[in-house]
Structure 1
Amino acid sequence: MNGKAVLLCLLVFLIQYDIDAQPRREDIYSDFVLYKKRQLLVKDLHENVVGKAFLSPLDSNTEYRYEAACRAIVQFALDNDTTQQGITQLFVQYDSLQYDTKRAMLETVYGVYPDQYIQSIQLLLAKETNPILFAIAATYCLRYDTAAVNAATIRKRIREQFPNYGNISILAELDKYLNTYTRYKAPAVNDLIELFRYQQTVKKKAVYSFQRHNRDYAGLAIVQNADGSFMRYADGRLMVFEQLARSASGLPYFIPDGNTPQGVYSIQGTAVTYNKLIGPTPNLQLVMPFERKWTTFFHAGDSVVYTPNNDMLWGYLQLLPPAMRTMPWVTEAFYAGKVGRNSIIAHGTTIDPEYFRNKPYYPLTPTMGCLCAKELWNVSNGRLLVSDQFNLVSAFSATAGNKGYLYVIDLDDQKKAVSKAEVERLVKEFEKNRTQ
């Protein structure tokens, strides 16, 4: 695989086709996971995609190679003297770069170098005129220094450099983020139990993806059937599925390709993608607010869409119990969709987890902001060894209907993966109250 092919692989749109029935697990195959293919990819990433790109002069003819190198660095967590040399060169020539190159470079710096380039980012923040690039630089500075005085300085820059910031969705969300970054409040257990109960008002199948606020740690998903029951194995054990809601860059939810936003997504069925990094295991097709027509988001025939004056937020909040509707986190998906985020799905992965061996989420793999389930492959024959993605889609598809809603919820900010015991306690509490 040459550098150009890798670039296409990284940037390819999620071409996919719908499936009517869950394929057999033994029929799922990917040659992309074979040992020799993985070794060739590692070699190509280091020598061609990054090495040759960053060792060549940066000009208008080679800039696209630098962009591709940045996208490879952040997705595969690559870091060495050559990568740092290339990033430094991009900072030197930042003003002459195309938007896509600037964005790829800033995402890489945010994801791979959390404090190394703070002075350079601070200089960019003072002059950046593009709202998305400004937001990335601002969140980098805020993460480096969470003090209230720094947040106030960033807020002042927003107002000075973008006088109409209130009409620019990403900056309006950044302004809110400055207030909440160090003030995270976890939902109460009673609120989560009420959400399980409220599913009978929505009357749709639901998937709940419980995550940590710190997305370096893996989460768990569970499936609630249309009748309110939860999917269990024949022996009564609750079905849980490991799922990572972290993007490769780790950027905040409101920035395109950042971490998966909390909130409500509409499940539109299942599909298989041709993207080699995602792989051939069926995925759950998700729609965000503003991504498609609201009648699509609400499955057309639902009784509640939105009020006659087109209050879409009101309609969105009807998918949550009343006590939850004022919680700031529940609208992350809504406002991220308004910013322009899209194409977030729940999928598997063919990426070699060894790139992330030293990360807290190993052996799961980060994405461009999707929900990625744990998948491990047999590198000798290209078949699945472990697939929480296959199991999740199978559980969701086991009962009638292929549509519903998916809720992404940060349980708390513990520095560890969400455990099965935590989720089981929530479900048992719901079931206990349900039978009383």
Structure 2
Amino acid sequence: MKVRAVLLCLLFFLQYVTDAQPRREDIYSDFVLYNKRLLLLKDLHENVVGKAFLAPLDSNTEYRYEAACRAIVQFMLDNDTTQLGLTQMFVQYETLQYDTKRAMLETVYGMYPEQYIQSMQLLLARETNPMLFAIAAAYSLRYDSSATNAATVRKRIKEQFPNYSNITVLQELEKYLTGYTRYKAPTASDLIELFRHQQVIKKKVIYSLQRHNRDYPGMAIVQNADGTFMRYSDGRLMVFEQLARSASGLPYFIPDGNTPQGIYSIQGTATTYNKLIGPTPNLQLVMPYERKWTTYFHLSDTAVWQPGYDALWSYLQLLPPSLRNRSSFTEAFYAGKLGRNSIIAHGTTIDPEYFKNKPWYPLTPTMGCLCAKELWNVSNGKLLVSDQYNLMSAFISTAGSRGYLYVIDIDDQRKAVSRWEVEKLVKEFEAGRVKASY
């Protein structure tokens, strides 16, 4: 596999085709076959990373260093060669292009939480690009979450960026500095009120219930337009494992960072040609600012978004009043404002063995999308387990292909969200509906 081809795959920006849900037994990927996986692993180590990092770093080889960084963080490729290459990139940091710098910093954040703290602190003191500064600041805060360090970073923001109040990524960084060590989870009552508010919207909704620490997988559930939740014929609630962690693990306000909390507009379903995402149909999502507001809010094609309309106010109407002042629920809004896009809910063909020692195993981190659990038969290329297929089947089993998807960090427990937790919330909501009907 050529280096540029790998890079394009990692960027996840390939064509989509709208398609109906195929039969499960017809879904096939040769990319998951055992020999193909072995060849990819060999190519990543020897060519994409090895040859790139062992060559001198200059303007002619820089693109290969960038591609290597993206491969390292996506597939968790840690060895002496990777660290040697990253160290060389720090030495020549000032000569690098913006995209190369960002790829390198994202890789360092995702792979080496402590080893490069001195280099990051030096960079933090002189970086003039707001986005690169924000990555270095997040690295510093994770290493030292004290109020003293947060105050130091806040001081640097003001000194190095006098107009920071007009720079969205720095505004979000300021919120992050405040909330990083003082996370406040929504209460069960908050979440039940959100389930109730769906009847104001009258649209199908998917809730992706996550941990604040995205190393641990979450669960998705589907609420129909009539307010009921999707259940199996035996009465069990349908739940679907879903990871909202990016490969780098960076905060939501960094492109390719963790999936932002908040509200996404479901625009339908599609199938991608991207081999890393795979052939299982995916859910097409639109963030605030990503497309026209009329598209985001499912207004008619002839509707006109008046200049006087307040986009944030309209966005907040998708939440019950009790949650409208919670900054966590506006992460998607401001992430979209600063340029994040192309977040979808999809499956994966990536070999989970790259992550066998990680808390999210056997799920797969991405570049900020919502990724459901998918396991493949490496002998015949067929699906073994697919929460993505099951989620899509549940969503399209009732009328309509549009609606909203809410990503919510329900708490900060250091374990995967369980079926029991989700069922408890839904049962409390349903008990309230029964009482209200009398």
Q: Which residue of 1 is the match for residue 332 of structure 2? A: 333
Residue deviations 1:56-94 (CA, integer Å, cap 9, x gap): 111111111100000000000010000000000000000
Q: Which amino acid aligns with 1:27?
A: D
Q: Which residue of 1 is the match for residue 9 of structure 2? A: 9
| Contact 1:306–1:314 under 8 Å retained in 2 | no
The whole-number CA distance in structure 2 between the counterparts of 1:38 and 1:361 is 20
Aligned with 1:57: secondary structure? coil
Q: Which residue of 2 is the match for residue 262 of structure 1? A: 261
Q: Which amino acid aligns with 1:121?
A: M
| Contact 2:256–2:367 under 8 Å retained in 1 | yes
Residue deviations 1:88-122 (CA, integer Å, cap 9, x gap): 00000000001111000000000000010000000
| Contact 1:217–1:360 under 8 Å retained in 2 | yes
Q: Which residue of 2 is the match for residue 363 of structure 1? A: 362
Given the alignment of the two structures, is residue 132 of structure 1 paired with residue 116 of structure 2, yes or no? no
- Per-residue deviation, 1:230: 0.5
TM-score, normalised relative to structure 2: 0.97
Q: How many aligned residue pairs are there? A: 434
For structure 1, the residue ranges without an aligned partner over 5 or more in a row are none
Q: Which amino acid aligns with 1:290?
A: Y
Q: Which amino acid aligns with 2:4?
A: K
Residue deviations 1:24-76 (CA, integer Å, cap 9, x gap): 11111111101010000000000000000101111111111100000000000
Given the alignment of the two structures, is residue 50 of structure 1 paired with residue 62 of structure 2, yes or no? no
Q: Which residue of 1 is the match for residue 99 of structure 2? A: 100
Counterpart mapping for 1:297-312 below 5 A:
297-301=296-300, 309-312=308-311
The whole-number CA distance in structure 1 between the counterparts of 2:2 and 2:380 is 23
Q: Which residue of 1 is the match for residue 379 of structure 2? A: 380
Q: Which amino acid aligns with 1:6?
A: V
The whole-number CA distance in structure 1 between the counterparts of 2:14 and 2:420 is 35
The whole-number CA distance in structure 1 between the counterparts of 2:46 and 2:332 is 38
Q: Which residue of 2 is the match for residue 282 of structure 1? A: 281
Distance 1:12 1:195, change over 3 A: closer
Q: Percent identity?
A: 79
Counterpart mapping for 1:149-168 below 5 A:
149-168=148-167
The whole-number CA distance in structure 2 between the counterparts of 1:307 and 1:222 is 34
The whole-number CA distance in structure 2 between the counterparts of 1:86 and 1:92 is 10
Distance 1:69 1:308, change over 3 A: closer
Q: Which residue of 1 is the match for residue 199 of structure 2? A: 200
Aligned with 1:126: secondary structure? helix
Residue deviations 1:193-217 (CA, integer Å, cap 9, x gap): 1111110000000000000000000
Aligned with 2:134: secondary structure? helix
The whole-number CA distance in structure 1 between the counterparts of 2:366 and 2:177 is 25
The whole-number CA distance in structure 2 between the counterparts of 1:31 and 1:168 is 45
| Contact 1:298–1:305 under 8 Å retained in 2 | no
| Contact 2:294–2:305 under 8 Å retained in 1 | no
Residue deviations 1:293-314 (CA, integer Å, cap 9, x gap): 0100000149x99887221000
Q: Which residue of 2 is the match for residue 82 of structure 1? A: 81
The whole-number CA distance in structure 1 between the counterparts of 2:285 and 2:244 is 14
| Contact 1:213–1:412 under 8 Å retained in 2 | yes
| Contact 1:54–1:83 under 8 Å retained in 2 | yes
| Contact 1:210–1:408 under 8 Å retained in 2 | yes
- Per-residue deviation, 1:15: 1.3
Residue deviations 1:219-245 (CA, integer Å, cap 9, x gap): 000000000000000100000000000
Distance 1:217 1:12, change over 3 A: closer
For structure 2, the residue ranges without an aligned partner over 5 or more in a row are none
TM-score, normalised relative to structure 1: 0.98
Q: Which amino acid aligns with 1:356?
A: F
| Contact 1:55–1:86 under 8 Å retained in 2 | yes
Aligned with 1:358: secondary structure? coil
| Contact 1:324–1:330 under 8 Å retained in 2 | yes
The whole-number CA distance in structure 2 between the counterparts of 1:134 and 1:234 is 52
Aligned with 2:330: secondary structure? helix
Deviates further, 293-302 or 149-158:
293-302
- Per-residue deviation, 1:13: 1.4
Residue deviations 1:167-200 (CA, integer Å, cap 9, x gap): 1110111111111111100101011111111100
Distance 1:60 1:308, change over 3 A: closer
- Per-residue deviation, 1:274: 1.1
Q: Which amino acid aligns with 1:5?
A: A
Q: Which residue of 1 is the match for residue 26 of structure 2? A: 27
The whole-number CA distance in structure 2 between the counterparts of 1:387 and 1:372 is 11
| Contact 1:72–1:78 under 8 Å retained in 2 | yes
Distance 1:172 1:310, change over 3 A: same
The whole-number CA distance in structure 2 between the counterparts of 1:299 and 1:376 is 34
The whole-number CA distance in structure 2 between the counterparts of 1:231 and 1:305 is 34
Q: Which amino acid aligns with 1:196?
A: F
| Contact 1:306–1:312 under 8 Å retained in 2 | no
Q: Which amino acid aligns with 2:420?
A: A
| Contact 1:222–1:241 under 8 Å retained in 2 | yes
| Contact 2:263–2:407 under 8 Å retained in 1 | yes
The whole-number CA distance in structure 2 between the counterparts of 1:41 and 1:22 is 29
| Contact 1:294–1:305 under 8 Å retained in 2 | no
- Per-residue deviation, 1:12: 5.0
Q: Which residue of 1 is the match for residue 58 of structure 2? A: 59
- Per-residue deviation, 1:14: 3.1
Distance 1:115 1:320, change over 3 A: same
Runs of 4+ residues over 6 Å off in structure 1: 304-308
| Contact 1:307–1:315 under 8 Å retained in 2 | no
- CA RMSD across the alignment: 1.3
Aligned with 2:375: secondary structure? strand
Distance 1:306 1:428, change over 3 A: farther
| Contact 1:375–1:386 under 8 Å retained in 2 | yes
